[in-house]
Amino acid sequence: MNQIMKQWSQREDLQVLSLVGISKNAGKTTFLNGLGRAWSAESVGLFSIGVDGEAQDVWSGRSKPEVRIYKGWIVATSGICLQNEADAWEIIEALPIDSVAGRVYLARANRDTSVKLTGVPTRQWASLCIEQLKKVGCAKVIVDGAYNRKVMASPVWSDGFVLVVGASFSPSLPALVKEVKGWMAKLLLPSTTDDTELYQSFYRQEVCALQIDERWVLFTSHEWIQSQGSHISAEDLKQATKLYFHGALTKRVLEQLRWSGFTGEITIPDWTYLFDLLVKGSQIQVLFPSNLLAVSINSTSPDGGQVNPEELRTQIQQVVGDIPVWDVYREEWNPDVS
Amino acid sequence: MFLDSETAEALRISEYLKRVAPYTPLGKKWKGRLKPYTHSQVGEWELDLHDQQEVMELFSESRATYFLTCCELVDDIDIALQEVLQDRSTMLTWFHVKRFLVTWFRWGEFVSWESSPRFMRMNPEEQRKLHFLLLLLQKSGRFTTTFEVSQLGDSKWLEMNRQKNQLMKEIQQLRKERQKQISGRLQRNPNFQGEWVISRHQESAKLFAVDPDIKLVRETIYEQIYELVPDKQEHVWQEQLLSFQEKLSIHEHSLFRQINRLFRDHIPFLQSLVQRWTRLDLLWAKCRAAQSWNGVRPVYLENQIRIIEGTLPLEQEAWKQKGYEMTPVTLAMKPGCTLLIGPNMGGKTTALRVVGLCTVLAQYGLYVPAKEFRFPLFPWVRTWIGDYQNAEQGLSSFGAEMNRLAKWIDPDPENQGLILLDEIGRGTNPIEGSAISCAITRYLHECRAWAVHVTHFPEALQIEGIQGYRVRGLSTIPKWDPDHPNQTDDWIRLLYKAMDYHLDPIEDQDVVATQAISIAEICGLPEKVIEQARTAVKQRIQEGD
């Protein structure tokens, strides 16, 4: 495991890595600390995205774990988190970002230490954090995603992500496995082979497009939602063979398409635009394929419950195929690698 | 109140003030408190304008760019200074204070004090103070915009920190070595946190249970988790480390308090630096706004308003996109009512707005959109432009008009503001409307109020000594062509081409313009309507009206 993590640190195409949990308290911080150990000698920037940011999780009230930081790493977090160990930090920048716990600063670690990361609440600010961390010299940026914030795992924002599966989702192993299957169905959607450049131009324009015969009809996802699809004639929808949808593809939208008689191929920018489970029979593909690097599992829930760790690993591996599955807490750490 | 909301809206003042965009948080706060100068503040007003001129002359492109870069480093330093004053400073306080001081230092190096605006120049004593304060925060003298405690250069702190870090390294090394030994013995490496996680069913679980160097810390139905038992040496070092951390923390607090004390003595100096930087930020924001509308510096003139080629930049920009050029407004007026007459759509209301806009912007200490603008400062400005019906208050257009006017007309010569009126009296029957309009005009003229009145009522021209301007009007009357495919759409373009918007002083024999029916014809009213209107006018002229 740590060998592969070390290899990631050497990949130039992997500059931004995100962590996404399937539930609260899935074990992202534990994984992050494991990854950090492998990347301790690298030039790393780190921040968290989401509403949870206090010392205690605002959802569960539990004490948030601290993140292990290594000398030279740069974090983006609220000032209040940096003040306890003044000797550990060099404050290098004040960002125009307000987290739940106050203004966000960039600080470089003068030695190995720990810190709590307060979440940056919006995607735009997350994008600014990434930009600023790169600007101050971070070769790698790790984004610790908070609950239900999978947007940063989009291939548009990050170069790779790790899915963290924890028993906090359910004490039932079959339920956990089923949930992961649902995620994988989205993550393994095929990518476009035809019209890719055209779809990319629609993506840049942020418009939806429907192909009827040789022509493309453009509209926005907002128009679709407002009119529930009725702004396009039923005839056109029946005849259409392709749809590029630049918006949240929900079950409702899929059903509206089906009722209208549309049977063609649907393309969305990436898997993060797909909400709800897939409706059977829909042909959906993505413009930007997902870049899932690994699945990290955690068989223990914060309540003390546990599923069989060996069984969990075996069954998850069966679902995800070739993607590495790691139980970072149970894996032996190879001291020769880091 | 200098401006009421209706006047501000009619002149679109908020849109112009939006262009005054300071860079820093404090600059933005100051802008929020921006107030017009009063007529008792002529000296301060002229100083503001003078400083803007100086800034514009000094700010080359490179200096302007550098200033922006510096402003990005200037936070709400007020808060940091408050923390210093109240002895509540933290590492973040000193980060902000240091950044601010380094910004000043770098500005001085980049621009040089002699080339700075006068209020930005630092005398040698101030330069020494700045340097002294910076050295307190970064003893090395190589000033950076970051902050860490080591930069204070306190030798005791540095030594304690070094020893603490050394100890931490030694503890880490000791644990690493012991973990390696145990791993070799038990044939299993720990996880990344240095814990051994062993399945209960593993054979080796028994060995873990009896190893003296590890202890069980947690267990579940599936596994057991062991961690290293600190040996004597580690215990000793951990206690030393704890002691070091406490001492270091105490010493850090004492260092911050010491710095705090030293800085408190210089708070007035620091506050003056904050004010000066913020002033420059606001002035440069005003300059950039003025540059956006090619502004000219207004000049104080006690008993006249003089505008040469004044414009309305927002409207001008909108018209340019449609292919129209705005004719600039040139006029002069003295106390007493000044009339503006001319054909409909001749730009009279525009001229009214130009007078209002230039006056208001000038009184806010801004350069104005004209080639020249001279005026006295007014205690207030009011406009009547548009329809202020208010159904909630039960006011018709006429009622609203009278209601507002009643509040403005003030016989007190010391409180004469600028009044801009657009066709008073049109909202009622022509006979009474004309009478009221004329009476108000006469009253304002005799009071020597500062007023401009756009009117179509000819009686106003009979007031003795009345001054005014007329729009030159339609030089030719474009022909209505019912067969032209775009006649209706192009009527504005036709009118624009035919209309001469220049203003000429009213002469004794002047009468109000009589081109309304021609304009209505260009606008596309049916021929029958136009003919009937022309016939009715002829009849009234014959009857002597």
Contact at CB, B189 and A92, closer than 8 angstroms: no
Res A295: pLDDT: 95
Q: Quick one: DSSP state of residue B152? A: G
Burial class (CB in 10 A: 0-12, 13-18, 19+), A310: middle
Q: What are phi and psi of B87, to 5 degrees?
A: 60, 40
**Chain B touched by A335 (CB under 8 Å):** yes
Q: Which of A126-135, B307-316, B322-331 has the lowest mean pLDDT?
A: B322-331
**Pair of tokens at residue A332:** 């032996």
Same domain for B395 and B278: no
Rg (CA), chain B: 38
Percent of chain B with pLDDT over 70: 90
Q: B100 to chain A, minimum CA–CA distance in Å?
A: 12
Q: Which of B158, B153, B160 is nearest to B136 (CA)?
A: B153
Same domain for B200 and B324: no
On average, the pLDDT of chain A sits at 87
Q: Is B277 helix (H, G, I), strand (E, B) or coil?
A: helix
C-alpha to C-alpha distance for B97 and A331, rounded to whole angstroms: 47
Query: Of A127-136, A304-313, B216-225, B486-495, which one has max mean pLDDT?
Result: A127-136
User: What average pLDDT does the segment B228-246 reach?
Assistant: 94
pLDDT at A53 > cutoff 50: no
Give me the number of domains chain B comprises.
3
> In this structure, which amino acid lies at residue A237?
L
**Pair of tokens at residue A53:** 């940011």
For residue A92, list chain B residues with Cβ-Cβ distance below 8 A. Answer: 145-146
pLDDT at B313 > cutoff 50: yes
**For residues B113-152, b (16+ Cβ closer than 10 Å) or e, as one string?**
eeebbeebebeeebeebbeebbebbbeeeebebbbbbbbb
**Pair of tokens at residue B261:** 């004390």
**Which residue in the block uniquely carries the two structure tokens 């860079």?**
B23
- CATH fold, domain A2-170+292-311+320-326, is Rossmann fold (3.40.50)
Domain spans of chain A? 2-170+292-311+320-326, 196-286
C-alpha to C-alpha distance for A257 and A244, rounded to whole angstroms: 12
Q: Is B499 helix (H, G, I), strand (E, B) or coil?
A: strand
**Chain B touched by A87 (CB under 8 Å):** yes
Res B282: pLDDT: 96
Same domain for B449 and B321: yes
Res B512: pLDDT: 63
End-to-end distance of chain B based on CA atoms, in angstroms?
A: 43
Name the closest residue on chain A to residue B194, using Cα atoms: A333
Q: Is B331 helix (H, G, I), strand (E, B) or coil?
A: strand
pLDDT at B458 > cutoff 90: no
Q: State pLDDT tens for residues A310-327.
A: 999 999 999 999 999 999
Q: State pLDDT tens for residues B341-400.
A: 887 777 888 999 999 999 999 999 999 999 999 999 999 999 988 655 555 454 566 667
Same domain for B464 and B330: yes
Same domain for B147 and B276: yes
Q: Any idea what the CATH number is for the domain that residue B39 is in?
A: 1.10.1420
Q: Are strands A67-69 and A113-115 parallel, antiparallel or unpaired?
A: antiparallel
Which residues are CB-contacts of B258 (< 8 A; sequence separation ≥ 6)?
none
Contact B521, B480 (CB under 8 A): yes
Res B483: pLDDT: 62
C-alpha to C-alpha distance for A120 and A50, rounded to whole angstroms: 6
pLDDT at A156 > cutoff 70: yes
Contact at CB, B191 and A333, closer than 8 angstroms: yes
Q: Any idea what the CATH number is for the domain that residue B310 is in?
A: 3.40.50.300
Which residues are CB-contacts of B214 (< 8 A; sequence separation ≥ 6)?
B182, B196, B208, B226, B227, B228, B229
**Which residue in the block uniquely carries the two structure tokens 């009221």?**
B436
How many other CB atoms are there within 10 angstroms of residue B34's CB atom? 14
Q: Is residue B518 part of a domain?
A: no
Contact B413, B448 (CB under 8 A): yes
Q: Is residue B3 part of a domain?
A: no
**Chain B touched by A178 (CB under 8 Å):** no
Q: Quick one: DSSP state of residue A294? A: E
Contact A126, A47 (CB under 8 A): yes
Q: Is B405 helix (H, G, I), strand (E, B) or coil?
A: helix
**Which residue in the block uniquely carries the two structure tokens 């313009």?**
B513
Name the closest residue on chain A to residue B146, using Cα atoms: A92
Q: How far is CA A40 from CA A5, A31, B227, in A?
A: 11, 14, 22
Res B411: pLDDT: 61
**Pair of tokens at residue B239:** 């206690």
Contact B295, B285 (CB under 8 A): no
pLDDT band at B427 (very low <50, low <70, confident <90, very high): low
Res A279: pLDDT: 55
pLDDT band at A302 (very low <50, low <70, confident <90, very high): confident
pLDDT at A58 > cutoff 50: no
For residue B95, list chain A residues with Cβ-Cβ distance below 8 A. Answer: 91, 94, 105
Same domain for B195 and B140: no
**Residue of A91, A93, A97, A131 to mutate when probing chain B, most B C-beta within 10 A:** A91
Same domain for B384 and B300: yes
For residue A330, list chain B residues with Cβ-Cβ distance below 8 A. Answer: 191, 197, 223
**Pair of tokens at residue B92:** 């973040």
Which residues are CB-contacts of B418 (< 8 A; sequence separation ≥ 6)?
B305, B355, B356, B359, B378, B380, B381, B382, B450, B451
Which of B:196-235 have CB within 8 Å of A? 197, 199, 220-223
Q: Is residue B362 part of a domain?
A: yes
Percent of chain A with pLDDT over 70: 91
**Residue of A330, A334, A336, A337 to mutate when probing chain B, most B C-beta within 10 A:** A330
**Residue of B192, B208, B228 to mutate when probing chain A, most A C-beta within 10 A:** B192
Partners of B384 in beta bridges: B421
**Pair of tokens at residue B356:** 């209002």
Q: Which of A174, A217, A216 is nearest to A195 (CA)?
A: A216
Res B306: pLDDT: 96
C-alpha to C-alpha distance for A141 and A157, rounded to whole angstroms: 11
**Chain B touched by A34 (CB under 8 Å):** yes
C-alpha to C-alpha distance for A87 and B91, rounded to whole angstroms: 10
- Let me know the angle formed at the C-alpha of B523 by B519 and B527, rounded to the nearest 5 degrees: 90
Contact B305, B375 (CB under 8 A): yes
Q: Is B372 helix (H, G, I), strand (E, B) or coil?
A: strand
**Pair of tokens at residue A139:** 């070769």
Same domain for B443 and B382: yes
CB nearest to A330's CB, from B146, B183, B191:
B191
- Let me know the angle formed at the C-alpha of B350 by B347 and B353, rounded to the nearest 5 degrees: 160
Name the closest residue on chain A to residue B25, using Cα atoms: A96
Res A92: pLDDT: 96
**Pair of tokens at residue B388:** 């202020």
Same domain for B468 and B400: yes
Q: Which of B361, B144, B414 is nearest to A92 (CA)?
A: B144
- Domain that residue B265 falls in: 20-152+255-291
C-alpha to C-alpha distance for A282 and B10, rounded to whole angstroms: 56
Q: Quick one: DSSP state of residue B147? A: B
User: What is the number of residues in chain A?
Assistant: 338
Q: Quick one: DSSP state of residue B296? A: B
> In this structure, which amino acid lies at residue A129?
C
User: What is the number of residues in chain B?
Assistant: 545
Q: B203 to chain A, minimum CA–CA distance in Å?
A: 16
Same domain for B314 and B365: yes
Q: How far is CA A201 from CA A204, A269, A287, A290, B278, in A?
A: 5, 11, 11, 19, 45
Name the closest residue on chain A to residue B166, using Cα atoms: A111
User: What average pLDDT does the segment B446-463 reach?
Assistant: 83
Same domain for B447 and B322: yes
DSSP letters, A21-40, are ESSTTSSHHHHHHHHHHHTT
C-alpha to C-alpha distance for B25 and B96, rounded to whole angstroms: 13
Q: Which of A287, A212, A280, A182 is nearest to A245 (CA)?
A: A287
